[in-house]
Structure 1
Amino acid sequence: MTTLPQQHLDALIPSSHADGDRDAVLQARFADVFERIAAGAVAREQNRELAYEAVQWLREAGFPALRVPQRYGGDGVTLPQFFRLLTRLGEADSNLPQILRLNFGFIENRLEGDDEAIRERWLTRVANGELVGAALSERTASTHNSVTLTRDPHDSQRWRLNGEKYYSTGSLYADWINVNAHDGEYDVNLMVRGNAPGVNRLDDWDGFGQRLTTSGTTRFDNVEVLEEQILLRHRLSEPQHDTFQIAFYQNVHLATLAGIARAALRDATAFARAHTRTFGVPGKSSPRDNPLVQRVIGRLASLSYSAESLVNALAESLERASQAREAGLATEATYIALDVEAYQAQQIVIAQVLEATTLLFEVGGASATSERLRLDRHWRNARVISSHNPAIQREQAIGAFHLNGTPPSERFSLAHKKDVNQSEA
């Protein structure tokens, strides 16, 4: 029997002709790292072993700096290239894209709005291997920022940071933590060293999935902040510039989900090939030749293909918007269209990946539920990722847009702010 190699199957996922050759180089560059990460995924899950080693492998390979422009020392990959690689990382271990999500969002923020001095300072650091995490959100349902930034009474160029954040995704792995605070007049976005005196990072995330993302509490006790660590001061009541950050952050989640679908197909296929008994068939038999097992695998392959194709399509739209922005041609309509596309993709990818992570158990019956295999991690991780952002609100926003032309950002401004300003585990 002839088996089509996985790289041939991957070629079915759409990519532009211009990206093709570099895609192959990038995939080859990270193949070994992804393989090592995947090899330890089950053990890390079973032991709740934080992924410090895996994160270090990615740092050494330059993965966190993929989107940093070459002039600052990064790779400057396109958004479609980036999201295809992120999907492969999600296949290896879905905790890793989420650990790095705020690092990648931080890069996009710098590319979008900062002056050159800030952009060069921080992007060069990321290119040199320094990792960014975040402590942006709080447990409260309010949009109030309870973390305070007050001027040091002894030095006008220094500040003191106090308070507590939750959903601090990736902070325990990070060199720098991006923090939202309030100085009494303005909301302030700033950076603090992860190991600075007074910073206390806790691994108290208690979700049943994505357990290794360190998405718990970060406390700040009189942490010193220099003026150069402050990125932005603004009032929440002030109108914000149009941005593709919402669609970008959402596609990171969708790429992670598409990676989980690939992992579900991979593990279901490996399980069926290795076994010599088909459910419901006494004695020795070949699951790989059973039409019902073949049908399950066929469905899993189709769900994975669809999810990955939607991620790639949204990545292409993000790339076009990025190019329009750089050329000064992006308009409000550009960003509204991105939001709508991201929300529509979210509805489909979530449903497809949750179906895939349940369906994979149909290839093996009760033996597929073994703790040794931890196949349940795919559903648990997908379910947690799918819960981060309000999919049901987004579906209503899509309908309101098509019926009444209401921009999603107007209808669900708080949901937008939540998506941009927190990784939510």
Structure 2
Amino acid sequence: MSTAEQASAAPTDTELLERFRPVFERIAEGALDRETTRRLPLEEAGWLREHGFGALRVPREFGGGGVTVRQLFLLLIELGAAESNLVQALRVHFRFTEDRLRERDTERGQRWLRLIGDGAIVGNASSERSGNVRGRTDTTLRADGERLLLNGTKYYSTGSLYADYISVAVADGDDRRVTALVPADAEGVRLLDDYSGFGQRMSASGTSVFTDVVVDPGNVIPTDRVFAGQLAIVQLVHLATLAGITARAVADIAGFVRRRRRSFSQAGADLPREDPQVQQVVGRVDATAHALREIVLGVAGRLDRAADARYALRTADPAHRTEAAEAAVHALELDAELGVYRAQSVVVDLALRATNEIFEVGGASALDSSLHLDRHWRNARTLASHNPVIYRERQLGDHLLNDNEPVSAPSVGIAPSLVGGAGEERSTDGSAARLAVVP
């Protein structure tokens, strides 16, 4: 189903917001308590499941909402304002869903789409403290008689504690990169909430330990060559979260200023809310929040067009799957990928500035720990540190100056030279390979 067909069949933006805003508002009510106690919003994640949030992108024929990518991101921004940790926790789930949508003409794609349509959530276990930066993994999947056994330790296992299934980046018996999916409650799976970052502390981004976990061979997905733009959605989820965080920061500081009675002798009005300079700061961060929202939604629309084009080409008559047709689809995907990277540079910068600038209007009173206004900057700074902007901006410059496409290698780890790696892998034509180790 194309974006246009989805738009005619799916709920409107207004209908979706009317459906989910009451849930988001309910989730937001407990945000300060969760920040104080570091309580994972597991119950709140259940509320989202009850409303089919994880199945939003699943076609209606498989039990989902059938919404467009743009509509998904509209809701992710709103959820990010209510509880940014939940958006991050669902990040890989939505990436996994997109990959299954891309193969919805296959038995595997349809099986997983039905599971997600029924409410299943997929978590993540990809990064390792000891793994190789080029995607080589110390986690293994080896045959033991007729069984496949998974062994290894992962870190930054975002969303694992919210999930029904964990997608594990692993090396199989032939040292090929594959994804193994295991039930989160399977024997030998141990999920820890030991993430130590100063922001996004309830995203369940800690350690996952797998000890002789039996894996269904049908739940092993080969790691194929990655299309341009295929991984962009995981970065755009971070940007949607940043847009939501900024919106909440604006709402919080506006409420603080409305209630504030203390002022300064240099102030331009009796009450802070009447002070022109305070009004200017609040107005500027409000404008920033709205701009971030529009940037994210604009790029999400590009991902819609690219996804539609890729599936249409995949399912087209063989006579129509020409080099020219592939080049046209690739151009749309590359446009979407570059759009996300450009947005990353701008959104990160503006979100960090806005979540810092809100303190200009409150004096020392705004630093009261009970307000937790600092959480907005801490959460924004944490998200901004994923896939650092400096590398994205270099890739953008290299593309503009030399026409080199970004290399998608979504993994981090120890430098190859320190672990005997062979350096950057190359494809058969000598160009940089587009590697994927995340489902």
* Superposed pair shares fold, TM > 0.5: yes
The correspondence for 2:71, drawn from 69, 73, 81, is 81
Aligned to 2:138: 146
Tell me the residue number matched to 1:377: 375
User: Is 1:189 aligned with 2:179?
Assistant: yes
Would you say the 8 A contact 2:167–2:181 is kept in 1? yes
Q: Where in structure 2 are the equivalents of 1:216-235 lying within 5 Å?
A: 216-232=206-222
Deviations 1:293-332 (A, max 9, x none): 1001111111111111110110111111112122215532
1:125 — aligned with what? 115
Q: 2:39 aligns with which of 49, 52, 56?
A: 49
Displacement of 1:19 in angstroms is 10
Q: Closer, same or farther in 2 for the Cα pair 1:246/1:371, shift >3 Å?
A: same
- Three-state SS of the structure 1 residue aligned to 2:215 is strand
Contact 2:410–2:436 (CA under 8 A) maintained in structure 1: no
Q: Distance in 2 between matches of 1:92 and 1:419?
A: 34
Q: Find the aligned partners of 1:409 and 1:210 in 2 and give their Cα distance.
A: 27
8 A contact 2:143–2:149 mirrored in 1: yes
Which residue does the alignment assign to 1:342? 340
- 1:1-400 to structure 2, matched below 5 A, reads 22-113=12-103, 116-140=106-130, 142=132, 143-153=135-145, 156=146, 158-185=147-174, 186-232=176-222, 240-280=225-265, 285-328=270-313, 329=325, 330-400=328-398
- Any idea what the Cα deviations from partners look like across 1:151-210, whole Å, max 9, x if unmatched? 122xx2x31111111110000111100111112312221210101010000111100000
* TM-superposed deviation, 1:341: 1.1
Question: What is the Cα deviation at residue 144 of structure 1?
Answer: 1.7
Please report how far the alpha carbon of residue 140 of structure 1 lies from its aligned counterpart in structure 2 after TM superposition. 2.9
User: TM-score, normalized by length of structure 1?
Assistant: 0.88
State the distance in 2 between where 1:176 and 1:118 align. Answer: 15
Question: Any runs of at least 4 consecutive aligned residues in structure 1 with deviations exceeding 3 A, and if so which?
Answer: 17-21, 279-282, 412-423
Residue 165 of structure 1 aligns to which amino acid in structure 2? K
Q: Secondary structure at the match of 1:327?
A: helix
Deviation at 1:27, TM superposition (A): 0.3
Contact 2:11 2:67 in 1 (8 A): no
Which residue in 1 is equivalent to 2:416? none
Q: Given that residues 245 and 420 in structure 1 are in contact (C-alpha distance below 8 angstroms), is that contact kept between their aligned partners in structure 2? A: no
Cα deviation, 1:262-298, whole Å, max 9, x if unaligned, reads: 011101111111112334468x932111101100111
When the two chains are superposed, the root-mean-square deviation of aligned CA atoms in Å is 2.5
Q: For residue 138 of structure 1, give the secondary structure of its aligned residue in structure 2.
A: coil
Question: Could you tell me how far apart the structure 2 residues matched to 1:316 and 1:64 are?
Answer: 19
Q: 1:414 to 1:139 in 2, by over 3 A?
A: closer
Q: How far is the alpha carbon of 1:245 from its aligned partner?
A: 2.2
Distance 2:43 2:110 in 1: 28
**8 Å CA contact retained: 1:279, 1:364:** no
1:117, distance to aligned residue in structure 2 (A)? 1.0
**Offset, 1:417:** 9.5
Q: 1:379 to 1:47 in 2, by over 3 A?
A: same
Which residue does 2:427 correspond to in 1? none
For residues 199-229 of structure 1, give each alpha carbon's deviation from its aligned partner in whole angstroms, at most 9, with x where no partner exists: 0001111000000011111011111112122
> What secondary structure is seen at the aligned counterpart in 2 of 1:188?
strand
Question: Which one is further off, 285-294 or 343-352?
Answer: 285-294
Asked if the contact 1:277–1:285 (Cα under 8 Å) also holds between the matched residues in 2, the reply is no
Unaligned runs of 5+ in 2: 1-6, 314-324, 413-431
Q: Is the CA contact (8 Å cut-off) linking 1:178 and 1:192 kept in structure 2?
A: yes
TM-score, normalising length: structure 2: 0.86
1:335 is displaced (CA, Å) by 2.2
- State the distance in 2 between where 1:270 and 1:20 align: 35
2: distance between equivalents of 1:120 and 1:422? Answer: 20
- Looking at structure 1, the residues matched to 167 and 407 of structure 2 have their Cα atoms a distance apart, in angstroms, of 24
* C-alpha deviation, 1:409, in angstroms: 2.2
Q: Secondary structure of the equivalent of 1:312? A: helix
Unaligned ranges ≥5, structure 1: 1-16, 235-239
**Letter matched to residue 193 of structure 2:** D
Structure-1 residue corresponding to 2:428: none
Is the contact between residue 23 and residue 47 of structure 2 (CA under 8 Å) also seen in structure 1?
yes
When residues 314 and 259 of structure 1 are mapped into structure 2, their CA distance, relative to the original with a 3 A threshold, is: same
Q: Counterpart in 2 of 1:4? A: none
Aligned residues: 399
Task: Indicate which of 401, 404, 411 corresponds to 2:402.
Answer: 404
Matched letter for residue 402 of structure 2: N
Percent identity for Structure 1 against Structure 2 = 44
Q: What secondary structure, in the 3-state scheme, does the structure 1 residue paired with 2:180 have?
A: strand
SS where residue 161 of structure 1 aligns?
Answer: strand
Query: 1:34-86, CA deviations, whole angstroms, 9 ceiling, x for partnerless residues?
Result: 00111111110110101111111110111111011111100010111110110
